[in-house]
Amino acid sequence: MDEIFGIPIPLLFGQLLLGLINGAFYAMLSLGLAIIFGLLNIINFTHGAQFMMGAFVAWMLLSLGSADAARIGLALLLLPLVVLLLDWLWLKLRLAQPIRLGLGVFVSAAWIAACFLENGGPVARALGAMFPNGLSYWWALLIGPIVVGASGVLLERLMIAQLYKLDHLYGLLLTFGVGLIIEGIFRNEFGSSGLPYRIPPELSGAWDLGFMFMPVYRGWVVLAALILCLATWLVIEKTRLGAYLRAATERAELVQAFGINVPLMITLTYGAGVALAAVGGVLAAPIYSVNPQMGVNLIIVVFAVVVIGGMGSILGSILVGFGLGVVEGLTKVFWPEASATVIFVIMAIVLLTRPAGLFGRA
């Protein structure tokens, strides 16, 4: 017959596919978490907020010409990038550390104050004047990770780096707190009911697969996630840079003794992990509701994915991400009420039988 447990087979195929798509998001987000945990031993609870920031940057870029809040928001979010670039310049000019710090604080204060002037100040106005029609989805895909990644780099340099000497729980608490603050600020500024973001025209439309209607955009999400996951895995497992990173995880002092700038590498790794979250956010903007809670809902599941895959295991988080998406998708057909719980049931079982996770090293 063409039914399994009373569910028509075409419907089941559709659900498998949808599960795979959701799994793509899980994989992308848990990948960033796994990299950060594997190489920095930091449990990055800000990840959900950074995912959400990615989606908001996409909205801000698109609405540059039409919404004051978008212009001002983007102007403020550009600050970390500006500070980092200036700091790099000052470093090249061989300014002393205290002077760089002082200048950085000054520039930040002036920048923020300028954004609270009438009409959003010079930066926001310039952004609005330069891009009256906003910047498209494709620009967001490029700019979003850079802007959010820069904020991550700054967060790592200023705060997280202070905690490496302490127990890892401090890092967890810090990132958790920062995440709550970021979400609180966005909620205050943009409310909770979400912002409109449409699917880019190039990717709208759908394919009729016979057993279901497959939106082009969802196909693109899976493709993009697969490419990103594969590329990240290749970089870390197969390149020289990846080898340095893995070596620095094991014996940081020794790697440093070979003349490799380990702190810089760690900072950039954190930035890259955050950028991955932001890419996820931009990809999610057209299909999920762009609102400050969007990260909270996803991040708990993603943490479960990381635990099941094995903390810090990159391959584990990719495979488990896609796998759990499918499991969740099937649960939505057979027992919808349990679909939010099933992942945690699996997590409990995995923890009991294989405490290091499916792909982790005990």
Partner 1 sequence: MELSRRAWLGTAAVTTLSTALPRLTRAQGAANTVRIGVLTDMSGMYRDNTGPTAVACARQAAAEFGNRGFTVEVIEADHQNRPDVGANLARQWFDQGVDVVLDVPTSSVALAVNQVAREKNKVMLNSGAATSDLTGAQCSPNTIHWTYDTWMLARSNGGATVRAGGDTWFFITADYAFGHALERDTMNFVRQAGGRVLGNVRTPFPGTTDFSSFLVQAQASRAKVIGLANAGADTQTCVKQAAEFGLTRRGIRLASLLLFINDVHGLGLQTAQGLTCTETFYWDMNDQTRAFTRRIVARTPNNYPNMIHAGCYSATLHYLKAVAEMGVPAAKASGMEAVNRMKAMPTEDDAFGRGSVRADGRRIIPSFLFEVKAPAESRGPWDYLKLEQTTPAEEAFRPMAEGGCALVRS
Task: Return residues touching partner 1 (CB under 8 A).
Answer: 8, 10-11, 14-15, 18-19, 21-22, 41, 43, 45, 69, 167-169, 172-173, 176, 180, 184, 187, 191-196, 198-199, 206, 212-213, 215, 217-218, 287-289, 291, 293-294, 297-298, 300, 303, 307, 311-312, 329, 332-333, 336-341, 351, 355, 360-361
Q: Which is nearer to partner 1, 10 or 102 (CB)?
A: 10
**Euclidean distance between CA atoms 6 and 274, whole angstroms:** 43
Q: Which is nearer to partner 1, 199 or 226 (CB)?
A: 199
Residue 215: HSE in the Cβ half-sphere, 13 Å Cα cutoff: 14
CB of 352 to partner 1, least distance (A): 12
CB of 70 to partner 1, least distance (A): 13
Given the complex with partner 1, which of 136 and 293 has the nearer CB atom?
293
The distance of closest approach from Cβ of residue 361 to partner 1 in the complex, given in angstroms and rounded to an integer, is 8
- Nearer to partner 1 (CB atom), residue 14 or residue 80: 14
CA distances from 285 to 26, 85, 151, 196 (A): 15, 28, 20, 9
Q: Cα(98)–Cα(107) distance, rounded to whole angstroms?
A: 14
Q: Would you say 148 or 304 has its CB closer to partner 1?
A: 304
What's the closest the beta carbon of residue 129 comes to partner 1, in angstroms?
22
What is the phi/psi pair of residue 16, to 5°? -60, -45
Tell the smallest beta-carbon distance from residue 101 to partner 1 (Å).
31
Tell me whether residue 48 or residue 149 sits nearer to partner 1 (CB atom). Answer: 48
Residue 108 CB, shortest distance to partner 1, in Å, is 26
The answer to whether 265 touches 272, Cβ cutoff 8 Å, is: no
Query: What is the C-alpha to C-alpha distance for residues 342 and 328, in angstroms, rounded to an integer?
Result: 7
To partner 1, the closest distance from the beta carbon of 128 in angstroms equals 18
Cβ closest to partner 1, residue 187 vs residue 238: 187
Structure tokens at 46: 């800000």
- The smaller minimum CB distance to partner 1, of residues 195 and 305, is found at 195
Smaller CB separation from partner 1, 126 or 349: 349
* Residue 5 CB, nearest approach to partner 1 (Å): 14
The amino acid at residue 130 is M
Nearest residue (CB) to partner 1, 128 versus 312: 312
CB of 275 to partner 1, least distance (A): 21
Long-range contacts of 159-163 (CB under 8 A, 24+ apart): 160/40, 160/42, 160/270, 161/263, 161/267, 163/42
CB 291 to partner 1: min, Å? 6
